[in-house]
Chain A
Amino acid sequence: MKQILLNIGLVFCIMIVFGPTNAIAQEGLKKINKSENDTLTKIEVAFRTVNEKDLLGGVSVIDVRDLTKKAYSTYSLDFVENIVGGMNGNIWGMDEYLVVVDGNIRDANNVLPSEIDHITILKGVSAVALYGSRAAKGVLQITTKRGYAGDPRISVRANSGIYLPKAYPKYLGSAEYMTLYNEARINDGLVPSYSNEDIYRHASGDNPYRYPDLNMYSPDYLRKFYNRSEGIAEISGGNNRVNYYTTTGYYREGSLLNIGNSSKNSNSRFFVRGNLDIMVGNSIKVQTDANVTFYDAYTAAGNWWSNAASLRPNRVAPLIPLSFLEENDIPSWNTINASNHIIDGKYFLGGTQVNPTNPIADSYAAGDNKFVSRQFQFNTRFDFNLKSLLQGLFFRAKYGIDYASTYNQGYSNQYATYAPTWTNYAGRDMIASVTQYGTDNKTGNQNINNSAYRYTYNFSGQFDYSKTINSDHNFFGMLVANAWQQQQSGQYHRITNVNMGLQTSYNFQQKYYLDFSSALPYSAKLPEGNRIAFSPTLTAGWRLSNEEFFNDNVFDDLMLTLSGGIINQDLDISTSDNTMGYFLYKSILQRGGWYSWADLGGEAATEFQRGDNMNLGFVKRKEINVGLRGSLLDRLINFDFNYFNGKMDGDIARVNSLYPIYFTQVGYPSSSIIPYVNYNVDNRSGFDFSVYLNKKINDVNLTLGVTGMYSNTKAAKRDESFEFSYQTRVGQPINGLWGLQNLGFFSDQDDIDGSPQQQFGDTKPGDIKYKDQNGDNMIDSKDEVFLGRWDTPFRMGVNFTVKWRNLSLFAMGDGFFGGYGMKNSSYYWVRSDNKYSEIVRNRWTEETKNTATYPRLTTTSGGNNFRYSDFWIYKADRFNLRMVQLTYDMPAKALNGTILKGLSMYLGGYNLLTFSKERKHFEMNVGSAPQTRLFNIGLKGLF
């Protein structure tokens, strides 16, 4: 079945790509309902299209088709958080959202901005209700471009850009590391590890092969920048009965690494998308869409960036020149000559017993891997105009099937490294002998692994009816059945959404609005009897500006909406060990673990998981929101404001505080007899806004947009048992950082002796001193308090457009305020055998005790210092300049007589600047590839 559908999809795809002009031509049919329009008027919302004017609260729209004319970008969601308010990696402070592309549940990253017509963000309860359970935390709805009647239009875009790394973490070189490591050893009461002579040799750099000073961020291994190139073509057109749109594109980007096989690391993506709208007869419209994406990522073996954060500089010389071998040292030559990996004919691979492999050797000798991802998407839609039954009645149905598969293919090879034993003849270092570690072992076979697939099926059918009486009373009604499922490899169960939706709405002269949107979600995750629920929402709207008393000419439009409702969801009927969430209501007995005796094979053990809870029900999103939208002073200012206040009620939990701890067993074997119940409650409130200022001064058009969202969450009910009131999570933000409060460093032993005892291991002068919150004269985890929110309370976006004649400048930035972070990566928490970063330079020592900013160094795990406390906390306030683009549109008359109908050139910069007290922290990646700035030049032609 799937195969057949796939084939159908491919056939359509081919048809769309190669046959747009051979469309079926019949006579006497009505024009398809779409015209060329620069400004968006018809907005896709849940299962229908509405006029922008009739949008109620809790919905935001982004006209991507228009935006991409002045702002090229590579990711479909680059704009959503900045151009409108209400999103910050989530919608209104909830933790996930549903992405719907053309009515189908799809990944946002598989559609490029150039393919998108507009994006609708459904935020409020009433906006998402019809989509059912899994849309309860908001929907991001992407509508792709479609064709419209007219001559074929061809648009071609070419982009080429360079990625420049922003910053590298700064690690200490060998000599400094060894010196400070010795200091750490002495701090721990141990003898130093490295002799002064050793340190001197590493410092001198005379023989880096014997005394290494490895810097993985050195230009020896990294490029200054790497390239990204892209080409995209779009073809669209149509006539009265058939419209088509098709686009195809390819990009490829390299990587910073420039060593061994890593220098070939690259990603590439090729896609074809097409759609076709056909009027069949007078009353049936058929739409079919297809999309194919090929994504490949090639990487040499090894994990460069995580090694760069952990491999200490003095440990290994990765490449050692053959010239250090004496010509007559036959045994060594025999060993080395047996190696498969003599690099550039000059070097052999160095290693030691403790580091028998290293990332540089990996790049040359450990093989490679290609990640392959293929996506096929197909959907079709029928609109039946049932005017023969009733004027204004439609039946519409759509069906979509997507298939995605990923796998890795490559070679995984083992290799030998060689540890030299050095001698020094007359002041010259020579290799006396070499010891081999590991063996060269090339697997001739290509590995194929991590193969995964995912099917998504979408279906919906609906009857809708609209009627206008006396051009005053506008009625609309819709009954919809909506279902989709996603099946993934390795998962027995499927992600499922099934619901019925009912919407009835009315407005009088577009002045008074009333809308009732509801759903009957069904969830097989819940016990029988609780599987169906009713999710009602009600919205009232009032266009104040249409009232006579409001006749003051300041406001062009002013619309107030009030909305409230309850959405039942089963998204959160899910646990970490049962992510699919089925049968969570049921106590189960299962085979788990294995035991054996008498030297025999043994038997499976039996375990209980969960207790029964036949009352388990939907989690409820309850919310009231208020919207105010309008424009004033002759469209000088447009604004949209939403306030929301609600709660997520009944999140499931095991109420551990009621039962003994041993009702749950962790480790191996594991077990629990505690049931899941609807228990936790989270409160959520806040507001979002977007304000646009449009002004024309002489030839110059100015647009300034400011958007933002403030959101606050509070745990209203939690299962917990704490001894002290300051420990309770109830009443605190759910995204809280908890930890100890520091009181600086212990200055001496007397200070330690006179302070509450810290229960995290040996405490010495130079360790962080903490505040005793409960007065028990001991510092332990009970003294942890709320320190701040790790999420972003206030998020803002700014965008600015200046247009002068054929030149336009677009700039976009975003700001994050009120949140905190914890500096707890290996870059900051330097201990035991970590690599040392420059952060340790200002460590505590007896001499620097008054100015030190970092605790004393230690070779232990440093349990006292390296734990969550406000010592490591930082304010995450920042403003980023996301992009700047300058576009020049060639004047039409300059193109006269050419085949070109339009030509624009643009120059853009992305992720340019960060303004923050913590800029260095925000621009630095530890353990992963560095952040980059992208500078891009592009050309777009219309034919």
Chain B
Amino acid sequence: MKNIIKSKLALVVLLLFMLMSCQDMFEPAIENHKGEDALYDLPAWATGLLGHAYISNPLGSWSFNDVATDDAVSNDPNNAYRLMATGSWRANNNPMDRWQYLRASWQYLNQFIVVSENVKWAEDPLVSDMFKERMKGDAYGMRALYMYHLLLNHGGWGEDGKLLGIPIVTKPEDLTSEFNLPRNTFQECIDRLYADVDSAIMLLPLDYGAITDDNLVPAKYRSKGVTAGQYTRVFGDNARNRMSARIAKAVRAQAALLAASPAYNQGTTVTWTEAANRMAEVLNGLGSNPIAEIDPKGNQWYTSSSAIESLQAGVNTKEMLWRANKDNSNSLEQANYPPTLFGSGRINPTQNLVDAFPMANGYPISDPNSGYNPANPYANRDPRLDMYIIRNGSTAGSQNTVIKTAADGTDNNALNKTETSTRTGYYMKKLLCQTVNANPSSSTTAYHIKPFIRYTEIFLGYAEAANEAWGPTSGGSHSYSAYDVVKAIRQRAGIGGGDLYLESIKNDKDKMRELIHNERRLELCFEGFRFWDLRRWKKNMTEPAKGMSITNGSYTILPNVEERSYQDYMYYGPIPYGEVIKFSNLVQNKGW
């Protein structure tokens, strides 16, 4: 009997041991976690901190916040920008908020700048040193980009009467840091951005790309004995479309334009001249006569899937200063094609935007010389209208289907027919590749590119600043004027007949300003510029979104498809409400 007991006990003990060996019982099962100190020996992990900030790139995807402006409305009743535009914008309900997201990644950049100093980037010490420079320069450039977007979304006149930016934090923070920091002034933030751009320019090449000749190695590396092969390993083709000196300069130019604009220039020292020069610095990189370098297809970079597909890896067209990877998809079309093309018809351009397109002869439709006929409103218009917007009778999709948006249309494309129909009488055509078939049972995809910065934006930025600084026809120290830029852009668009309208106003700075603003509106429509442009210019934000109802071939303007319920203090975005509550030194923008 005792033996039985013993054997049973033995069995029980055995079972106990079996259990003891189970993971998570006495020791947690091992996970592949690393600590911060592991980064120094793991360059791929260390770069991943910078990668984290790259994922957060505020330019990474289309925001379509144009639906919160007079350019478009969304047919999605739950669209956050739609709700914002119709009166729910609050400091604690802010779809424009970048404070949390970008500053979180900003912390990664600060951390990366410190860490990168001691990471073993490569066995070869020369290569390792070059990597260190590239990585740090990259991070400084990204930080400047973040600063620009933080200023855009959160800069403003504080309750204390000063034009404020964000609290500038350049060292990684930890749990014991002082968090109750005041906001630095807008100007200090601009200075910080400039300094970061300077660091990036110092550390980064203008462009990346392989070299084969040792003599082409930049002097500062060549003097250390760096070969073309070593240089290429760090700064070669594999680094294309990462932050470069060229991109950093463009970011600086964007920031300068912002700071020189009416909404901000009372609180900064940045002048229109400076903004124009910063823009010109980018443009001058195109060649001795930048106007001649304007990409003739720069306003329709998205139209050809095959052209994008055949683009060499990492190489940019003349229009692209900086861009994302090519992407073979049809999600944009699924969202925005008209319903009969199996899209959800999400973005509906407004009559306001349609009216902003001039006639093909260049005259605004309100001009007596334009020849505009309200009873036949789409005839003889600027070719960009039909390129960017689907209106009643346009063709679209892979079969060139005629789209009837008229109120008496019989299919789902008709005005307000169903939940995916247009609310304004228009659908968005721009950015979509018309070869895509979005029918779920036979769908096809196409190559797309998300530009981060297009040269058209820089040209128009130059025109805007140069017109203010030197008048329409002078380029200061540069060989091209605002007039030259506008003329070229409008020529590219197909404005014919010698563009008499432009000629007629070429000596009127105020009319030229309006024209440049309008060209910017048209060229950059649906790309997320309009919302902050209106504010930067201190223009009317509350013009209701209008539409067009067509019945029996007669045209009736819908005067108020959607309110734009903005208050005057909404020229500037708010600081997150919760942060202002927590930190007494954080001043809220006026009115919020």
A-side interface residues toward B, CB under 8 Å?
A: 1, 185, 189-191, 193, 280-284, 353-354, 356, 382, 384, 388, 395, 397, 399, 414, 416, 437-439, 457, 459, 461, 481, 483, 485, 492-494, 496, 498, 522, 524-525, 582-583, 586-600, 602-608, 611, 657-669, 671, 673-675, 721-723, 759-763, 780-782, 831-833, 859-861, 863
Interface string of B304-346 (1 = CB under 8 A from A): 0000000101100000000011100000000000011010000
Residue of B nearest to A723 (CB): B581
A761 CB contact (under 8 Å) in B5, B24, B83, B411: B83
Q: How far, in angstroms, from A522 to B27 measured CA to CA in the complex?
A: 10
For A382, what are the chain B residues with a Cβ–Cβ distance below 8 Å?
Answer: 8, 12
Residue of B nearest to A395 (CB): B9
A190 CB contact (under 8 Å) in B22, B340, B416: B416
For A662, what are the chain B residues with a Cβ–Cβ distance below 8 Å?
Answer: 99-104, 106-107
B219 contacts A by Cβ under 8 Å: no
Residue of A nearest to B12 (CB): A397
For B311, what are the chain A residues with a Cβ–Cβ distance below 8 Å?
Answer: 599
Shortest C-beta distance, B137 to chain A (Å), equals 15
Would you call B49 and A485 a contact (CB within 8 A)?
Answer: no
Would you call A587 and B313 a contact (CB within 8 A)?
Answer: no
Q: Given the known inter-chain contacts A191-B416, A760-B88, please indicate yes or no for A494 contacting B22, CB distance below 8 A.
A: yes
B105 contacts A by Cβ under 8 Å: yes
> Which B residues from 374 to 416 make CB contacts under 8 A with A?
407, 411-412, 416
Shortest C-beta distance, A794 to chain B (Å), equals 36
25 of the cross-chain contacts (CB-CB < 8 Å) are A193-B417, A280-B4, A284-B4, A354-B412, A388-B2, A582-B31, A587-B35, A589-B33, A595-B51, A597-B239, A598-B208, A598-B241, A598-B313, A606-B45, A608-B36, A659-B175, A662-B101, A662-B102, A664-B100, A664-B104, A669-B55, A673-B107, A675-B175, A761-B83, A831-B77
Interface string of B175-219 (1 = CB under 8 A from A): 100010000000000000000000000000000100000000000
Q: Given the known inter-chain contacts A485-B22, A600-B314, A780-B90, please indicate yes or no for A589 contacting B4, CB distance below 8 A.
A: no
For A665, what are the chain B residues with a Cβ–Cβ distance below 8 Å?
Answer: 56, 100-101, 104-105
Q: Given the known inter-chain contacts A659-B179, A662-B104, A669-B52, please indicate yes or no for A354 contacting B87, CB distance below 8 A.
A: no
B579 contacts A by Cβ under 8 Å: yes
Would you call B48 and A606 a contact (CB within 8 A)?
Answer: yes
Q: Given the known inter-chain contacts A494-B24, A498-B26, A598-B237, please indicate yes or no for A354 contacting B419, CB distance below 8 A.
A: yes
For A524, what are the chain B residues with a Cβ–Cβ distance below 8 Å?
Answer: 24-28
Q: How far, in angstroms, from A722 to B577 measured CA to CA in the complex?
A: 10
B314 CB contact (under 8 Å) in A589, A594, A599, A723: A599
B418 contacts A by Cβ under 8 Å: yes
Q: Given the known inter-chain contacts A461-B12, A483-B25, A589-B39, please indicate yes or no for A762 contacting B87, CB distance below 8 A.
A: yes
B-side interface residues toward A, CB under 8 Å?
A: 1-2, 4-5, 8-9, 12, 15-16, 18-19, 22-29, 31-36, 38-39, 44-49, 51-52, 54-56, 77-78, 83, 86-90, 92-93, 99-108, 173-175, 179, 208, 237-242, 311, 313-314, 324-326, 339-340, 342, 407, 411-412, 416-420, 440-442, 549, 560-561, 563, 565, 576, 578-579, 581-583
For A589, what are the chain B residues with a Cβ–Cβ distance below 8 Å?
Answer: 33-36, 38-39, 45
Q: How far, in angstroms, from A353 to B418 measured CA to CA in the complex?
A: 11
Q: How far, in angstroms, from A522 to B31 measured CA to CA in the complex?
A: 20
Residue of B nearest to A667 (CB): B101
For A588, what are the chain B residues with a Cβ–Cβ distance below 8 Å?
Answer: 31, 33-35
A494 CB contact (under 8 Å) in B23, B33, B78: B23
Residue of A nearest to B582 (CB): A721
Residue of B nearest to A781 (CB): B92
Residue of A nearest to B5 (CB): A384
For A603, what are the chain B residues with a Cβ–Cβ distance below 8 Å?
Answer: 44, 47-48, 51
Give 9 A-B pairs besides A384-B5, A863-B83 with Cβ atoms closer than 8 angstroms.
Answer: A185-B416, A382-B8, A384-B8, A598-B325, A599-B313, A603-B48, A831-B77, A859-B77, A863-B88
Shortest C-beta distance, A886 to chain B (Å), equals 50
Would you call B4 and A281 a contact (CB within 8 A)?
Answer: yes
Would you call A282 and B26 a contact (CB within 8 A)?
Answer: no
Residue of B nearest to A414 (CB): B441
Would you call A354 and B420 a contact (CB within 8 A)?
Answer: yes
For B412, what are the chain A residues with a Cβ–Cβ distance below 8 Å?
Answer: 353-354
For A283, what are the chain B residues with a Cβ–Cβ distance below 8 Å?
Answer: 1, 5
For A721, what are the chain B residues with a Cβ–Cβ distance below 8 Å?
Answer: 578, 581-582
Q: How far, in angstroms, from A673 to B39 measured CA to CA in the complex?
A: 16
Q: How far, in angstroms, from A113 to B583 measured CA to CA in the complex?
A: 58
Q: What are the 5 tightest A-B residue pairs by CB atom distance, in nearest-first order?
A: A606-B48, A665-B104, A598-B314, A605-B51, A662-B103
Would you call A583 and B48 a contact (CB within 8 A)?
Answer: no
Would you call B239 and A760 a contact (CB within 8 A)?
Answer: no
Residue of B nearest to A599 (CB): B313
Q: Given the known inter-chain contacts A280-B4, A354-B412, A382-B12, please indicate yes or no for A661 contacting B48, CB distance below 8 A.
A: no
For B108, what are the chain A residues with a Cβ–Cβ distance below 8 Å?
Answer: 671
For A493, what are the chain B residues with a Cβ–Cβ distance below 8 Å?
Answer: 23-24, 28-29
Q: How far, in angstroms, from A782 to B92 measured CA to CA in the complex?
A: 9
Q: How far, in angstroms, from A353 to B439 measured CA to CA in the complex?
A: 10
For B46, what are the chain A residues with a Cβ–Cβ distance below 8 Å?
Answer: 606
Output the residue of A280, A437, A586, A603 with the most chain B CB within 10 A. Answer: A603
Would you call A661 and B576 a contact (CB within 8 A)?
Answer: yes
Shortest C-beta distance, B396 to chain A (Å), equals 15
A663 CB contact (under 8 Å) in B29, B104, B237: B104
Q: How far, in angstroms, from A721 to B549 measured CA to CA in the complex?
A: 50
Q: How far, in angstroms, from A597 to B55 measured CA to CA in the complex?
A: 11
Would you call A759 and B31 a contact (CB within 8 A)?
Answer: no
Q: How far, in angstroms, from A384 to B10 measured CA to CA in the complex?
A: 13
Shortest C-beta distance, A459 to chain B (Å), equals 5
Q: Given the known inter-chain contacts A193-B416, A661-B578, please indicate yes or no for A607 contacting B15, CB distance below 8 A.
A: no
Q: How far, in angstroms, from A671 to B36 measured CA to CA in the complex?
A: 14
Would you call B314 and A282 a contact (CB within 8 A)?
Answer: no
Shortest C-beta distance, A860 to chain B (Å), equals 5
Would you call B8 and A763 a contact (CB within 8 A)?
Answer: no
A485 CB contact (under 8 Å) in B25, B36, B324: B25
For A384, what are the chain B residues with a Cβ–Cβ distance below 8 Å?
Answer: 5, 8-9
Shortest C-beta distance, A837 to chain B (Å), equals 18
Would you call B33 and A590 a contact (CB within 8 A)?
Answer: yes
Q: How far, in angstroms, from A599 to B51 measured CA to CA in the complex?
A: 15
Shortest C-beta distance, A287 to chain B (Å), equals 13
For B325, what are the chain A residues with a Cβ–Cβ distance below 8 Å?
Answer: 596-600, 602
Residue of B nearest to A588 (CB): B33
Q: How far, in angstroms, from A281 to B5 measured CA to CA in the complex?
A: 11
Would you call A354 and B582 a contact (CB within 8 A)?
Answer: no
For A598, what are the chain B residues with a Cβ–Cβ distance below 8 Å?
Answer: 208, 237-242, 313-314, 325
Would you call A586 and B92 a contact (CB within 8 A)?
Answer: no
Residue of B nearest to A862 (CB): B77
Shortest C-beta distance, A658 to chain B (Å), equals 8
A591 CB contact (under 8 Å) in B38, B48, B313, B561: B48
Q: How far, in angstroms, from A880 to B250 measured CA to CA in the complex?
A: 70
Shortest C-beta distance, B535 to chain A (Å), equals 19
Residue of B nearest to A354 (CB): B418
A861 CB contact (under 8 Å) in B9, B77, B326: B77
A606 CB contact (under 8 Å) in B15, B29, B49, B313: B49
Q: Given the known inter-chain contacts A598-B239, A760-B88, A863-B88, please indicate yes or no for A492 contacting B29, CB distance below 8 A.
A: yes
Shortest C-beta distance, A341 to chain B (Å), equals 15
For A457, what are the chain B residues with a Cβ–Cβ distance below 8 Å?
Answer: 19, 22
Would you call B27 and A761 a contact (CB within 8 A)?
Answer: no
For A591, what are the chain B residues with a Cβ–Cβ distance below 8 Å?
Answer: 45, 48
Q: How far, in angstroms, from A280 to B1 measured CA to CA in the complex?
A: 9
Would you call B441 and A668 a contact (CB within 8 A)?
Answer: no
Q: How far, in angstroms, from A608 to B22 measured CA to CA in the complex?
A: 29
For A780, what are the chain B residues with a Cβ–Cβ distance below 8 Å?
Answer: 90, 92-93
Residue of A nearest to B23 (CB): A494
Q: Given the known inter-chain contacts A589-B34, A589-B39, A605-B52, please indicate yes or no for A459 contacting B16, CB distance below 8 A.
A: yes
For B15, what are the chain A residues with a Cβ–Cβ distance below 8 Å?
Answer: 397, 399, 459
Would you call A661 and B100 a contact (CB within 8 A)?
Answer: yes
